[in-house]
């Protein structure tokens, strides 16, 4: 009988040990390990998403910097065009003023009708003498 009990204990011992490992006390470390593995997996997924977002943000910043540089160069070109336009307008105003001065000078030099008649008479007399 003693051999039977001993053989039963030997046969049941691995089952008891395995069942103790599966009990609440034995599952606590395994459960924590599984939970930490799930948490690590979730954190890796989140890190990957954050890396993709960071890459997207870097690309966006790069494009926005390029756009900003382009806009600055466009603004500089527009300022230069406006300056050239203003210089052109100033030059045209000066030309118009010079033409007005010339017109005023020509009006001041306009001869009287009697002087013109005298010039025509002198020209006719010289023409008659030369024939």
In the chain the first and final C-alpha atoms are separated, in Å, by: 177
> What is the tens place of the pLDDT at every residue in 49-73?
999 999 999 999 999 999 999 999 9
Q: Which of 42, 21, 41, 45 is nearest to 31 (CA)?
A: 21
Structure tokens, 59: 């690309």
In the numeric block, which tokens belong to residue 84?
Answer: 């050239």
Give me the chain's average pLDDT, please. Answer: 83
Angstrom distances, CA of residue 79 to CA of 19, 84, 86, 107:
85, 9, 10, 42
Residue-range domain boundaries for the chain: 2-130
Q: What is the model's pLDDT at position 80? A: 97
In order of 59, 95, 104, the CA distances from 108 in angstroms are 73, 20, 6
CB 58 within 8 A of CB 51: no
Per-residue confidence (pLDDT) for residue 20, from 0 to 100:
47
């Amino acid at each position: 009988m003693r051999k039977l009990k001993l053989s039963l204990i030997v046969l049941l011992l691995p089952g008891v040990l395995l069942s103790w490992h599966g009990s609440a006390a034995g599952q606590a470390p395994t459960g924590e390990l599984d939970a930490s593995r799930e948490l690590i997996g979730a954190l890796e997924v989140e890190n990957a998403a954050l890396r993709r977002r960071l890459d997207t943000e870097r690309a966006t910043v790069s494009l926005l910097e390029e756009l900003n540089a382009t806009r600055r160069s466009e603004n500089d070109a527009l300022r230069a065009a406006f300056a050239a336009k203003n210089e052109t307008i100033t030059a045209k105003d000066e030309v118009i003023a010079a033409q007005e001065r010339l017109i005023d000078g020509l009006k001041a030099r306009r001869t009287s009708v009697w002087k013109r008649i005298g010039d025509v008479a002198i020209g006719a007399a010289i023409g008659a003498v030369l024939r």
